[in-house]
């Protein structure tokens, strides 16, 4: 029986209260090599299993990218087509050029169209106060909305912070991409995903609605853990954002729930490029580095120099060594990581310290689910790297015996 070197380390981390527990799954492109194991308990005392249902937050972006690219494949929109006729609310947003001496924004007209490609690689120009100092200043100048927004159109009204394509900033492009999918398909995002992504792959434990509406998922749902100021893990009911029920519609970038074992089915399909939910050419396009020189420099500058960006966006890439690009669904490492992910690997994650990767060169993919806040936990990132190394080590042994 294979011995995975990360397992005693994860068990010790759970015992010591470094993490509240973790679900780890991995597979190769053929499906012949698989790994699946859960460790520990949540701070609520719930024992984790590989089918535990958690809020997956930005891990929803990958399946949203697949769904959006299906619309390209079906001829409903082009990757580089102006989205104005489908999302006029997004397209009418101006660009903030600067702020005057009184702190008020000075706008300029948008000079190039916003496209689906921009939206999926975070170069559309729209962001939020959390991720952009310019948007933070803008919101301070204009003031908060009079009532809490409950729709994507009402919430993501902020003007663009740069001309589309010229820079990179993490923002709301995937929320708008979900709205685009609904308008092109005529279906709700939940119904579209279930018919075109989840059911074809057998992803039974995924939803954009409350998991409590599905008895099977409700029974598997686990609570959020939080690390307090002293470093102790405590149970919490906070830390969630963009959840259906609090909002009137599904937020495609952040609003989904699911299990690690269901999510792995999507990772494996893309790793194998098996054509089950998206044609081979568009999967290849997903994994092609998409950024121009200025946007690439912008992305790497943020992740290398801003502590929170480094902890949250790097998703266990070693940013002392790595140079990132962005594909249509996640960040792409352009250099090998020693003993694990190869150059060309796509990776992203979710706010409560979820991290996934797809390495098409090595033929391996996997994910770690933890469900702990705040985001960017350095302990989780370190442990995920050890998990990856163990998987790569055992995969090499597996190939020798095959």
Residues 141 and 49 in one domain: no
What is the reported pLDDT for 96? 94
Give which of 69, 74, 263, 275 is closest to 174, Cα–Cα. Answer: 69
* Residue 193 located in a structural domain: no
**367 near 260, Cβ under 8 Å?**
yes
What is the pLDDT, as a whole number, of residue 52? 98
pLDDT-wise least confident of 48-52, 72-76, 145-149, 291-295: 145-149
Q: Which two tokens stand for residue 192?
A: 């579209």
Same-domain status, 329 and 268: yes
**For 264-315, how does the pLDDT look when each residue is reduced to its tens digit (9 = 90+)?**
999 999 999 999 999 999 999 999 999 999 999 999 999 999 999 999 999 9
User: Which band of pLDDT confidence, cut at 50, 70 and 90, is reported for residue 89?
Assistant: very high
Same domain for 219 and 125: no
Query: What pLDDT shows up at residue 44?
Result: 98
Q: Is 166 a domain residue? A: yes
Name 55's bridge partners.
Answer: 257
Residue 65 lies in a domain: no
Residues 55 and 76 in one domain: no
Same domain, 120 and 261: no
* pLDDT of res. 350: 98
pLDDT over threshold 80, residue 379: yes
Number of other CB atoms surrounding residue 379 within 10 Å: 16
Contact of 111 with 163, CB cutoff 8 Å: yes
Q: Are residues 181 and 304 in the same domain?
A: no
Strands 372-373 and 224-227 turn out to be parallel
Question: Quick one: pLDDT band at residue 113, thresholds 50, 70, 90?
Answer: very high
Q: Tell me which DSSP letter residue 355 carries.
A: E
Domain count, the chain: 2
**Rounded Cα gap, residues 329 and 61, in angstroms:** 6
pLDDT at 141: 85
155 and 46 within one domain: no
Contact 34, 40 (CB under 8 A): no
Q: Which domain holds residue 355?
A: 7-59+204-401
From first CA to last CA, the distance across the chain in angstroms is: 14
Provide CB contacts within 8 A for 297, sequence distance 6+: none
Are 152 and 249 contained in the same domain?
Answer: no
pLDDT in tens, 355-366: 999 999 999 999
Q: What is the pLDDT of residues 130-142, one digit of tens each?
A: 788 888 898 888 8
Judge whether 210 counts as a catalytic residue.
no
* Residue 196 belongs to some domain of the structure: no
pLDDT in tens, 188-220: 999 999 999 999 999 999 999 999 999 999 999
Please enumerate in sequence order all residues whose Cβ is within 8 A of that of 195, keeping only pairs 6 or more positions apart, or say none. 187
Cis peptide preceding 380, ω within 30 of 0? no
Query: For residue 199, is it within any domain?
Result: no
Q: Output the pLDDT for position 129.
A: 81
> Is pLDDT of 1 > 60?
no
- Which residue among the candidates 5, 36, 58, 132 is catalytic per the annotation? 58
Span 98-120, mean pLDDT?
Answer: 94
In this structure, the answer to whether residues 154 and 275 fall within a common structural domain is: no
Both 99 and 225 in one domain: the answer is: no
């Amino acid at each position: 029986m294979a011995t995975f070197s990360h397992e005693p380390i994860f068990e010790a981390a759970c015992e010591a209260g470094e993490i509240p527990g973790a679900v780890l799954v991995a597979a190769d492109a053929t499906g012949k090599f698989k790994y699946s194991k859960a460790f520990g308990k949540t701070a609520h005392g719930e024992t984790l299993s590989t089918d535990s249902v958690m809020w997956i937050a930005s891990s929803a972006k990958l399946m949203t990218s697949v769904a959006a690219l299906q619309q390209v494949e079906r001829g409903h929109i082009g990757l580089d087509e102006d989205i104005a006729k489908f999302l006029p609310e997004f397209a009418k947003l101006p660009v903030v050029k600067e702020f005057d001496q009184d702190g008020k924004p000075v706008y300029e007209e948008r000079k190039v169209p916003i496209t689906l490609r921009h939206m999926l690689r975070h170069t559309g120009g729209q962001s939020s106060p959390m991720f952009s100092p310019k948007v933070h200043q803008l919101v301070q100048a204009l003031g908060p909305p009079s009532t809490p927004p409950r729709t994507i159109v009402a919430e993501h009204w902020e003007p663009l912070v740069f001309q589309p394509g010229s820079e990179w900033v993490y923002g709301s492009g995937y929320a708008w991409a979900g709205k685009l999918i609904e308008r092109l398909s005529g279906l709700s995002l939940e119904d579209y995903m279930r018919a075109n992504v989840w059911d074809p792959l057998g992803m039974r434990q995924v939803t954009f609605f409350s998991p409590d509406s599905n008895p099977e998922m409700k029974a598997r749902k686990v609570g959020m853990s939080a690390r307090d100021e002293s470093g102790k893990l405590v149970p919490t009911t906070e830390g969630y954002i963009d959840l259906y029920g609090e909002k009137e519609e599904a937020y495609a970038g952040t609003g989904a729930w699911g299990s690690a074992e269901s999510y792995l089915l999507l990772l494996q399909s893309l790793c194998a490029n098996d054509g089950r939910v998206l044609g081979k050419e568009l999967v290849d396009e997903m994994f092609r580095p998409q950024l121009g020189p200025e946007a690439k420099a912008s992305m790497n500058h943020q992740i290398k120099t801003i502590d929170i960006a480094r902890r949250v966006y790097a998703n266990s890439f070693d940013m002392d060594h790595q140079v990132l690009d962005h594909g249509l669904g996640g960040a792409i490492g352009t250099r090998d990581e020693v003993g694990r992910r190869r150059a060309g690997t796509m990776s992203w994650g979710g706010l409560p310290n979820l991290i996934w990767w797809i390495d098409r060169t090595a033929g391996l993919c996997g994910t770690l689910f933890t469900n702990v806040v705040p985001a960017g936990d350095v302990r989780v990132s370190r442990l995920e790297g050890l998990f990856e190394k163990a998987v790569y080590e055992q995969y090499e042994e597996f190939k020798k015996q095959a």
